[in-house]
Homo-oligomer: A and B are copies of this chain.
Amino acid sequence: MNSSRPPFAGWIRSSNTITQQFLSIGGKPDIVSLAGGLPAAELYPVGAIRDATERALRRWGSSVLEYGPVEGLYALRETIAARTSAESGGKFLAANVMLMTGAMQGLDLVGKTLVDPGDLILAQVPTYLGALDAWRPRQPRYEKFDWNCERPGFDAALAQAKFAYVVPNYSNPTGALVPQPQRLALLDKVRASGTWLLEDDPYHSIHFDGDPGLDILESDARQFKGVYDGPVIYLGTLSKSIVPGLRVGWAIAAAGMIEKLALAKQSSDLSSSLFTQAIALELLESGFDLEHSRSINERYRERRDTLCSEAAARLGDWFEWEIPPGGMFVWMRARDPRIDTNELYKVALEEKVAFVPGSVFDPDGKDHSAMRVNFTRSSPEVIAEGVRRLEKAVKRYLHR
């Protein structure tokens, strides 16, 4: 490329390509990838989607082949609002819901809507690297949040922050389920400070030991007499409960916030596909997504158990972890201080197994002591083979 071209925007120069690398590793047939955050493709309901498409086109005809309203298909917004009302006991209307290209776009839009360069984001650590990617073009500062609301300086940080970012359900990368008292403590602080709370909930539907309980949004909604108007911006998605390829996600928030997010969305891509939203509507109205989730969770439980038992047998001397009650990942922390997971990663790739080094979930990139291991994407047999390769990689790494 011509070197006399104008420079790229500043954030591009501080950017990482690691997500792209992982996505492309996922496609190489000889690598066992325990890296990505992908559902099991063989469980995708191709037939149900074909039928839903047929029904959607019969029901809506050319109207779902139009540009959307910026906020998305009204009937789907209503359906999501009604479900959330029923689950929470609060009151949500279509005006509280905006549809978007996966929950990922919600991260981008919240950043666009709230963040100017130098603004503060209070972010749960370790945190989703896609969120860091999404906000990098807005050039924020970060303060780390570990769910301890009582630590000195927390109130001051919250008061300064544009928003706090949390993933209470089966967080990426740790798989942890945040207990209700901690959620409510944070909600109280957020209410007192007036700041926004971004609750990212992609793993809501993937649980192995019962429902995760009330989302923070839902707890907050119960406080309102009328339509929801609180500080929580909630992000949901069908990427994990049905398929990612429809690219249907949503934000639920105060109507005034939805208006601003719509302004940001309009300037991003005018609207997401009404066509895939109409397909999603068929699947949600019939309750297909709930039924499908129950059946895939059975399979995912088996895979989690395989990963944890194989790892206990082969990696337990070097790593420790909690068994996650939901989500897609086991977060393995090195108990052996010689292990640097950024370095181990290179050896693992040579052994043809991939994970995600913990450093990419740290805004400062400094945590080299952990790795994220996925259990949803691969069959139990492949997971077991992956753990065997990891064991080999660790041994080689330690005897370099």
Contact = CB atoms under 8 A, between A and B. Distances in A.
A364 to B, nearest CB: 18
Interface stretch (A112-120, A208-216, A305-313): A112-120
Interface string A134-146: 1011100000000
A148 interface: no
A182 interface: no
A27 B274 CA distance: 15
B23 A70 contact: yes
Interface string A20-44: 1001100100000000001001101
Interface stretch (A81-89, A240-248, A292-300, A338-346): A240-248
A262 B5 CA distance: 18
A1 B244 contact: no
Contact of A1 (B17, B256, B271, B276): B256
Interface string A46-87: 100110011001000111111111100000000000000000
Interface stretch (A102-110, A320-328, A365-373, A385-393): A102-110
Contacts of A207: none
Contact of A6 (B2, B12, B67, B162): B162
A244 B8 CA distance: 30
Contacts of A286: none
B247 A272 contact: yes
A17 B267 CA distance: 10
A9 interface: yes
A269 B101 contact: yes
A284 interface: no
B133 A112 contact: no
A246 to B, nearest CB: 6
B244 A67 contact: yes
B68 A245 contact: yes
B117 A117 contact: yes
A296 to B, nearest CB: 13
- State how many copies of this chain the complex holds: 2
Q: Please report whether the interface of chain A is mostly helix, strand, loop or mixed according to DSSP.
A: helix
Interface in A226-281: 229-231, 239, 243-247, 254-257, 260, 262-264, 266-276
Given A6-B196, A269-B247, A263 B17 contact: yes
Given A1-B254, A69-B23, A272-B101, A267 B6 contact: no
Contacts of A57: 46, 49-50
Interface in A189-220: 194-196
A12 B256 CA distance: 13
Contacts of A24: 69
Contact of A271 (B44, B247, B274): B247
A161 interface: yes
Contacts of A180: none
**Ordered nearest first, which 10 A-B pairs have the shortest CB separation?**
A4-B194, A1-B256, A65-B245, A65-B243, A44-B62, A101-B269, A133-B267, A105-B269, A247-B273, A67-B244
5 contacts: A6-B161, A101-B269, A245-B274, A245-B275, A275-B276
Given A1-B229, A6-B196, A44-B66, 13 more contacts: A12-B264, A27-B69, A46-B61, A65-B244, A65-B245, A67-B245, A68-B245, A112-B137, A130-B267, A134-B267, A137-B267, A246-B275, A247-B272
